[in-house]
Amino acid sequence: PKDCMVLLVIIIKLLSYESEVTCDPGWDGELCDRCVLMPGCVHGSCRQPWQCRCETGWAGRFCDRVCSRRPCQNGATCVMEDGGEYACLCPHGFHGNNCQLKAGPCLQERSPCKNGGLCEDADGFAAALTCRCLAGFTGARCETDVDDCLMKPCANGATCLDAINRFLCVCPAGFTGRFCTVNVDDCASRPCLHAGRCLDRAGGFHCVCRPGYAGTTCEMPLRGWTNGGNSSGKNSSGENSGRPSDRLLRVTVSERGAGSGGGLSRLQLTVLLVLAGVTLGVVALTAGVVLQRYCRLEQEVVCFSQSATGVNMQMRCDIMNIYFYDLAPVTLRA
């Protein structure tokens, strides 16, 4: 038993000694017999610390590039450079990191596309090139400017000016906006004078003048017209200050007719009087018919009332006769 205890103590000490072992830098493992790879090494191994020996088919400083796996395309030759990098030696007519691009029509003709068009040839493998045009251009080589005014986008008679991928509308007077569709408020500046009322219209305005004024902006006062609407032949009290002459009357009527847009002609006045007479006749005839029917209705009501009164009196007489007839036998018996 004592020997067993000694052996157990020795084993414990050996185990504690192994757990306290520290490897030298660059080595690892329980027995410190495994080297440490260089940081960043992907497909490599080491025989000494911090090495990166590439596996078969891999190259590069960190063994992350391939050369034996043929990364170069289209018959290019892969070569390893100093530092572990590889390079592809492209055959004639090919280019790119891996010789994946072909010198097609776009490269050979140096992009014949105009106005910023993009030349496309399927990475050089297309038999013929094509041009992808920018907005506003068309044609095989993007040489034609698209007429943006072809659809007539400007309204209200505006002039359309074509530009590159855009257009400009020159609006006529009274309109604004990109398409000249907004009507300018011509009454905003209050063009009507003497308290005239302004009506906005498309491309202009119209003034409704107060009595006594005329003109486009109500700027012209009418002769022989005062603020009260009376002729100049009257005084402040409203009475005539003198007998107006025929000449004064003709001048006043002429000026008022010019200011109001013209009076009625003789034919129009005749037609108006005839229509007025016909209207009065119809009204009088209608009133007569209504009055006649009203009188008949009154007579019928009076006759019916008298008839009803006679029937009532006859019924009263019959009742009295029946009453006296019933009383007569009673009196005789008494």
| 259, pLDDT greater than 50 | no
- What does the alpha-carbon distance between residue 115 and residue 135 come to, in Å, rounded to a whole number? 10
Number of H helices, E strands in the chain: 4, 20
Mean pLDDT of 211-219: 92
| 317, pLDDT greater than 60 | no
Mean pLDDT of 15-34: 74
The DSSP result for 151-212, as a single string, is T----TTPEEEEETTEEEEEPPTTEESTTS-EEP-TTTT----TTPEEEEETTEEEEEPPTT
CB 90 within 8 A of CB 100: no
pLDDT attached to residue 284? 92
- CATH superfamily of domain region 104-146: Laminin (2.10.25.10)
Question: Which of 295 and 233 is assigned the larger pLDDT?
Answer: 295
Most confidently modeled of 79-83, 226-230, 284-288? 284-288
Contacts 24+ apart (CB under 8 A), 192-201: 192/217, 192/218, 193/217, 193/218, 193/219, 194/218, 194/219, 194/221
CB 210 within 8 A of CB 196: yes
Query: In 10 A of CB 40, how many CB atoms?
Result: 11
pLDDT attached to residue 89? 86
Q: 16 pLDDT band (50/70/90 cuts)?
A: low
pLDDT attached to residue 159? 95
Tell the residue number behind the tokens 């990191």, with chain if given: 97
> Which residues, in sequence order, are bridge partners of residue 163?
166
| 332, pLDDT greater than 80 | no
- What does the alpha-carbon distance between residue 134 and residue 136 come to, in Å, rounded to a whole number? 6
- Say if residue 171 is exposed, middle or buried (CB neighbours under 10 Å; 0-12, 13-18, 19+): buried
Tell the residue number behind the tokens 């400083």, with chain if given: 61
pLDDT attached to residue 86? 75
With b meaning 16 or more CB within 10 Å and e meaning fewer, what string describes 236-260? Answer: eeeeeeeeeeeeeeeebeeebeebe
Task: Return residue ranges of the chain for CATH 2.10.25.10.
Answer: 104-146, 148-184, 185-234
Query: In 10 A of CB 110, how many CB atoms?
Result: 8
**CATH class of domain segment(s) 185-234:** mainly beta
87: Cβ contacts below 8 Å, ≥ 6 apart: 78, 79, 81
pLDDT attached to residue 108? 78
Question: Which of 226 and 270 is assigned the larger pLDDT?
Answer: 270
pLDDT attached to residue 81? 67
Sign of CA dihedral 24, 29, 34, 35: negative
pTM, 2 dp: 0.34
Question: Which of 246 and 65 is assigned the larger pLDDT?
Answer: 65
Three-state DSSP at 115 gives coil
The tens digit of pLDDT for each residue in 74-111 reads 888 887 766 667 788 888 888 888 888 888 888 777 78
Q: What is the mean pLDDT of the chain?
A: 76
- What does the alpha-carbon distance between residue 221 and residue 310 come to, in Å, rounded to a whole number? 81
CB 91 within 8 A of CB 75: yes
Q: 6 pLDDT band (50/70/90 cuts)?
A: low
Most confidently modeled of 70-79, 96-105, 250-259, 284-293? 284-293
Query: In 10 A of CB 191, how many CB atoms?
Result: 16
pLDDT attached to residue 254? 38
pLDDT attached to residue 238? 33
pLDDT attached to residue 55? 77
- What does the alpha-carbon distance between residue 274 and residue 289 come to, in Å, rounded to a whole number? 23
Q: 240 pLDDT band (50/70/90 cuts)?
A: very low
DSSP secondary structure code for residue 220 in this structure: E
pLDDT attached to residue 251? 36
CATH of domain 148-184: 2.10.25.10
Mean pLDDT of 173-188: 90
Q: 196 pLDDT band (50/70/90 cuts)?
A: very high
